Structure 1
């Protein structure tokens, strides 16, 4: 693998459309007038110390430092009954510090010699078409769905390649569907076929040619209540269904109570490349907000003969999933306590903190004993509100994860970010 990898998908159809449709640009159609462009920078330090290591990889530490740039340019739509547009995303990651014995943080690609690449980049485009309140997109996609959550948790965001359609013709109801044929992982420049994870274990021995999905969300009760129903299929590996409910209820003038409930059911699909899959997952996350304080309690149960399936290396909207442990192993039961505080209530806008603790047990380890794990996370974030550094964000995370059947982890992250509005 080369140290610098660049993947540029052909935008020839877009170039032809733009070149041959000068009338669209000249006619103040909104294609240019409604366009936006931003450049986000991320300076990312990531460190994980491993102890009581389980598995063949005996690396005791993963620690890297990198600089990322994310360009997002979005056009408006041309005039007429059917509007056309194009979006472009450009990504660049630069290595600042790494070594073979500290690689594999997920920030940078790893080459054949075990060293992290000096840099990696990607330039991709999406063609879009809009009719009324329905939009079709073809090209580079970043879906954020209950069965395929957007996991922008490292230096650069991941994406998928395919087609999607979103319709909001009925007030409160949003319907979506799509077919994805490949993925761009968060620390790679090229496209790859999709593979599954079962719980915390990637299943790289098999891959799928497509992920198909369909579903919708309906918001009502002055948009305080949302019900969801979704279906996802990683062809020849698994299919999955999801039902969800979210509700927010003001109490008096000071409190707001919230509920986030979800249920997943998954089975093997088609050729059963990973064999039989049997998984049901239930989660509930309840909240109470008062001023700058928000308190959460959550329960999550994994049922069936399999761990929770997902596309690698994707996160999920499971209520108890944390950055280090997923609490989604076979037969696992877990509980969460969480506290958020927004310091704007004390006159310090832009400063927020989150403290989470999750404890799980009853894991079917297949080794003659029940697995258990726990994780404590502390996040502190601040966005400068005024002055020459206005908009600069700083985020610090410290996590401690312990288990009797998988590797223990101590983790630290420091992220500096800033977004320039170019248009």
Structure 2
């Protein structure tokens, strides 16, 4: 008998809950005693200027997008009741205020709620989860779930985090092994107040009302870790992921790191995104010397469709792409595309300025070829070009206050430039983000 993803989820919950000692739940101090209340403010300025090569009419209409907003977020996480089985709750509330929509511009940069409505100046939403813990296994049910893994990773890079509704279980029963599974039935995007949105194939723009995933990460040694994941987006695709990460220490302040990522995606059910038969992989090698890290990357897409991943609303993109060259503006994930990248990061703590860091990367993509794609594919905006090329340069500066009353306050500036050489499946653009964030633990 072939097991459905729902059957696999139920079996995984049962098996994970039955293993290991009762250390986690046995150490519970109580519902109130282990509870936490955290408050966070985030101020975000977003300026995205398109220049050329738009792949749809909306991009042409929203050529120059600017928005500025403020959010206030309150997260309560209870402890667990004592006993063999512990019970608890998670509660969250979000309030967003639009400070400026960009006079003379679209005001629809997708960073504010509700749903890009440029006339709305504020919005609020809330979510809650019930949670149960047995031993080192925790099961949550609610509409405020935030899994984060290679096949399902709702973003928290705008004013409010995206969340999902459904069941999610995480187990730490075996030392070094973190296993998780979920059955998810609704989404709330980062620019929405609606808790019952669909999930999307981000590039195809088609929706699914159900996502299931199952996966695990295992630390083989202190230097080597591996992970395997699988996901089903109902009537869109099945996606499988594998990773190996190894760090080789050269001395007390020098090391080499090697990272390999592999995705395999095939269409599923009624194939709402059309035929999909894509293999994507990336390789990265990094050298760290004290405060400096240098990294080289290579990425390849095999298939006549792009590598696609999670969306939680029309036109939004989330973080379920762990390929090395996925960047601020583009992902270098076109049909048959190959790309190379060079990265540099500097931690100024070694030079007497703890909390200050710099980052830069430059990526070149070549040979994007959508000429063999089906004419009715939702990915056919890649057109008939056989050798599209483009590049992106990203710069980032971040400072986090290390002590005093403002400890934890961070200021982050991200600037990205993307240029297309030939072809029209993407856009030349410049983007600046300024993010000021202050987290405060109330108790």
Same fold flag (TM > 0.5): yes
Q: Secondary structure at the match of 2:164?
A: strand
Q: In the alignment, which residue of structure 2 is the partner of 1:106?
A: 110
Asked if residue 75 in structure 1 is aligned to residue 78 in structure 2, the reply is: yes
Q: In the alignment, which residue of structure 2 is the partner of 1:398?
A: 415
Distance 2:267 2:407 in 1: 50
Asked if residue 370 in structure 1 is aligned to residue 390 in structure 2, the reply is: no
Higher strand share: 1
Q: In the alignment, which residue of structure 2 is the partner of 1:407?
A: 427
Structural mapping, 1:237-316, within 5 Å = 237-312=236-311, 313-315=317-319, 316=321
Q: In the alignment, which residue of structure 1 is the partner of 2:3?
A: none
CA RMSD of aligned residues (A): 1.6
Question: What's the CA shift string for 1:116-172, capped at 9, x where partnerless?
Answer: 421121111111101011111111210111111242111111111110111121111
Asked if residue 166 in structure 1 is aligned to residue 170 in structure 2, the reply is: yes
Distance 1:419 1:116 in 2: 29
Distance 1:383 1:101 in 2: 32
Q: In the alignment, which residue of structure 2 is the partner of 1:382?
A: 399
Distance 1:226 1:332, change over 3 A: same
More displaced 10-residue stretch of structure 1: 401-410 or 231-240:
401-410
Q: In the alignment, which residue of structure 2 is the partner of 1:23?
A: none
Distance 1:351 1:96 in 2: 28
Q: In the alignment, which residue of structure 2 is the partner of 1:352?
A: 357
Q: Which residue among 341, 346, 366 is the counterpart of 1:336?
A: 341
What displacement does 1:106 show?
A: 1.9
Distance 1:68 1:109 in 2: 10
Question: What's the CA shift string for 1:30-49, capped at 9, x where partnerless?
Answer: 21111111111011100011
Question: What's the CA shift string for 1:371-415, capped at 9, x where partnerless?
Answer: 111110100000122344332211011110111322111111111
Work out whether residues 52 and 429 of structure 2, in 8 Å CA contact, stay in contact via their aligned partners in 1. no
Distance 1:407 1:116, change over 3 A: farther
Q: In the alignment, which residue of structure 2 is the partner of 1:12?
A: none
Distance 1:302 1:381 in 2: 32
Q: Secondary structure at the match of 1:344?
A: helix
What displacement does 1:202 show?
A: 4.4
Q: In the alignment, which residue of structure 2 is the partner of 1:422?
A: 442
Q: In the alignment, which residue of structure 1 is the partner of 2:66?
A: 63
Work out whether residues 113 and 190 of structure 2, in 8 Å CA contact, stay in contact via their aligned partners in 1. no
Q: In the alignment, which residue of structure 2 is the partner of 1:6?
A: none
Work out whether residues 109 and 116 of structure 1, in 8 Å CA contact, stay in contact via their aligned partners in 2. no
Work out whether residues 342 and 351 of structure 1, in 8 Å CA contact, stay in contact via their aligned partners in 2. yes
Q: Which residue among 189, 193, 198 is the counterpart of 1:189?
A: 193
Distance 1:226 1:383 in 2: 29
Work out whether residues 34 and 76 of structure 1, in 8 Å CA contact, stay in contact via their aligned partners in 2. yes
What displacement does 1:29 show?
A: 4.7
Q: In the alignment, which residue of structure 2 is the partner of 1:155?
A: 159
Q: Secondary structure at the match of 1:309?
A: coil
Q: Secondary structure at the match of 1:349?
A: coil
Distance 1:171 1:43 in 2: 39
Question: What's the CA shift string for 1:224-279, capped at 9, x where partnerless?
Answer: 21111110000011010111111122112221111221111000001112221111
Q: In the alignment, which residue of structure 2 is the partner of 1:33?
A: 33
Distance 2:398 2:278 in 1: 36
Q: In the alignment, which residue of structure 2 is the partner of 1:141?
A: 145
Question: What's the CA shift string for 1:190-213, capped at 9, x where partnerless?
Answer: 12011112xxx341xx32120000
Work out whether residues 43 and 416 of structure 1, in 8 Å CA contact, stay in contact via their aligned partners in 2. yes
More displaced 10-residue stretch of structure 1: 226-235 or 361-370:
361-370
Q: Which runs of 5+ in 1 are unaligned?
A: 1-27
Q: What number of residue pairs does the alignment pair up? A: 389
Structural mapping, 1:19-30, within 5 Å = 29-30=29-30
Q: In the alignment, which residue of structure 1 is the partner of 2:324?
A: 319
* TM-score, with length taken from structure 2: 0.85
Q: In the alignment, which residue of structure 2 is the partner of 1:128?
A: 131
Distance 1:231 1:92 in 2: 34
Distance 2:347 2:252 in 1: 18
Distance 1:402 1:110, change over 3 A: farther
Q: Secondary structure at the match of 2:105?
A: helix
Distance 1:42 1:228 in 2: 32
Distance 1:387 1:169 in 2: 38
Question: What's the CA shift string for 1:297-343, capped at 9, x where partnerless?
Answer: 11110111211121212122111101111111111101110000000
Distance 1:98 1:356, change over 3 A: same
What displacement does 1:111 show?
A: 6.3
Distance 2:245 2:160 in 1: 29
